[in-house]
Structure 1
Amino acid sequence: MNPVVLACVAVPVTAVLYGLLGLRRRWQDRWYRVMVERAAGLLRDPYRAAATRWWDEDDVQAAAAALLLDGLATVNHRGNLALTAAGCDPSRAAGHPLPDALLDALRRRTAPVTLGNIGRRDAAFNAARSAFHAAGRAGVQHGTLEFRREPGWAAQVGLLLVSAEMTVTVLVLADLAPRGPVDSAAVAATAVGLVAQVVWFGLYGRLRTAHTRRDPWAEAVAGAGLHPALAELAGRDPEAVARLRTSRWRVRRGRNRGRPRRRRTPAGAEA
């Protein structure tokens, strides 16, 4: 085979492969930027930003802090939350889905209760909390950028054609005897293109895993600060913040878990 003809096949194939590599990299980077922008837009709601923080500073603690700041609930030294007169008024609301869900959970109880008890046993509150966060993250892909484990049929055919082209090129180069500077230049260009094609497979494998360890939602949440309600409550009443922390860790309230207490009949009355 003429070395010039061989070079005219190997060099364009190499150029096409690296062009596809550049397009793939550009698409992945654009995807990630779009996901980060969407996450940043959704995290303007501080309750969504606090969803993945520690228990002492998460969205449930923030919702309870909002109720305390609005005067809708109180918390005692044992971490038991109770409604105030304003909180018992059905017409009053916290003005946000998550604090409203916590307010409804407190209204369903007949006695003071801890946050840990509500989180463990109140299915309605947990469902409302999950629905709130799911609705917010519907437009943002949570988790890493995933590709199909096996390439599609078009990609498989393309890889087979490239492999066949590389095999033929190696076999032809082994039997070529360049004659003159033009043939020598063509052989050199073919050899460089062949080496570049081998390198391309490694670059493509790295590109496929470039974003597999990056989560746009997690990275956006990591940069969020403390919820404003918790920050305000910490400045106004640090003891209340400590009580909310106790309330979150306490799952069992004792004999009464929000049920009506039984009135004990005095012994003298029975007599």
Structure 2
Amino acid sequence: MRPVVLACVVVPVTAVLYGVLGLLRRRQDRWHRVMVERAAGLLQDPYRAAAHRWWPGDDVQAAAAALLLDGLVTVNHRGNLSLTAAGSDPDRTAGHPLPDALLDALRRRTAPALLGNVSQRDAAFNAARAEFHAAGRTAAQHEIPVFRREPGAAGQIALLLVLAHMLVTVLALAGLAPRGPVESAAVAATAVGLVAQLVWFGVYGRLRTAHTQRDAWAEQVARAGLHPALAELARRDPEAVARLRTSRWRVRRGRNRGRPRRRSTPAGAPPA
């Protein structure tokens, strides 16, 4: 094969391969923009935006703050949450699934409870919380193109053809004896194109899975500010915010673990 003919084959193939990279990158950028727009719309619910924040400002703290602002619960200096008369009313709701789940968890207790105990040990509350956030992510990903990590059958055939083309090019280069500057330039262009094709495989492999490292949902969550309920509670009653923090890091209320204390002596017995 003449060097000029070989260069006229290798260079266009290299250009096509890098054009494929450009199209793939453009498609992934479009996918990411759509995901950002969808996530931004769903994260207008501040509880979803607070889901992955550090716990002093996360969604559980925000739900407790909302219940305090609505007068459904109170919190004492030790962090124990107690239902008010309005909170004990089974017909009263907080108006949002997450605070409602926390309110239901407190109604199931027979004594004041700690927020840390509820968040760690109340399976029903954690299930409701997980369901609420999972619904948000499912809605964000609905009808969004999913990128496969492995190419389809047509893509695999194309990759095999490229490998065969590269093998033929290497064998052809080994048998060439360029004559004159034109053929020498053609051989150099062919060699550069062949190296570029080898580099292309590595770039293609990284780019094909690059979308898995870009989480539009997490990016929007990171940009979200403090939950409005926590901000309002901090403005009205900073001491209540501090008590909620105490309630969150404490898990055990005491030896009775939130249950009413038992009398050490029978009722009616004379004191010692």
TM bucket normalised to smaller: 0.7 to 0.9
Alignment partners' CA distance in 2, 1:78 and 1:157: 67
Task: Tell me whether 60-69 or 48-57 shows the greater mean CA deviation.
Answer: 48-57
Residue identity matched to 1:66 = A
Change (3 A) 1:120 1:182: closer
Describe how 1:2-41 pairs up with structure 2 within 5 A.
2-41=2-41
**CA-based RMSD:** 2.6
Counterpart check, 1:85 vs 2:85: yes
Shift of 1:18: 1.5
Alignment-derived partner of residue 172 in structure 2: 172
Shift of 1:158: 2.4
- TM-score relative to the length of structure 2: 0.86
Check whether the contact 1:75–1:243 (CA below 8 A) recurs between aligned residues: yes
- TM-score relative to the length of structure 1: 0.86
Deviations 1:140-194 (A, max 9, x none): 46xxx9753x554443332232222122223223433456776566545434433
Check whether the contact 1:111–1:257 (CA below 8 A) recurs between aligned residues: no
Deviations 1:95-123 (A, max 9, x none): 11111111111111222111112122221
Residue identity matched to 1:266 = G
Shift of 1:23: 1.3
Alignment partners' CA distance in 2, 1:91 and 1:205: 57
Q: How many residues align?
A: 265
Alignment partners' CA distance in 1, 2:162 and 2:128: 53
Residue identity matched to 1:214 = R
Alignment partners' CA distance in 2, 1:188 and 1:113: 77
Alignment partners' CA distance in 2, 1:131 and 1:237: 31
Alignment partners' CA distance in 2, 1:56 and 1:180: 75
Residue identity matched to 2:37 = E
Alignment-derived partner of residue 67 in structure 1: 67
Alignment partners' CA distance in 1, 2:181 and 2:255: 96
Task: Tell me whether 150-159 or 232-241 shows the greater mean CA deviation.
Answer: 150-159
Alignment-derived partner of residue 132 in structure 1: 132
Residue identity matched to 1:123 = A
Check whether the contact 1:75–1:244 (CA below 8 A) recurs between aligned residues: yes
Check whether the contact 1:234–1:241 (CA below 8 A) recurs between aligned residues: yes
Alignment partners' CA distance in 2, 1:4 and 1:94: 77
Change (3 A) 1:181 1:249: closer
Describe how 1:98-137 pairs up with structure 2 within 5 A.
98-137=98-137
Shift of 1:77: 0.7
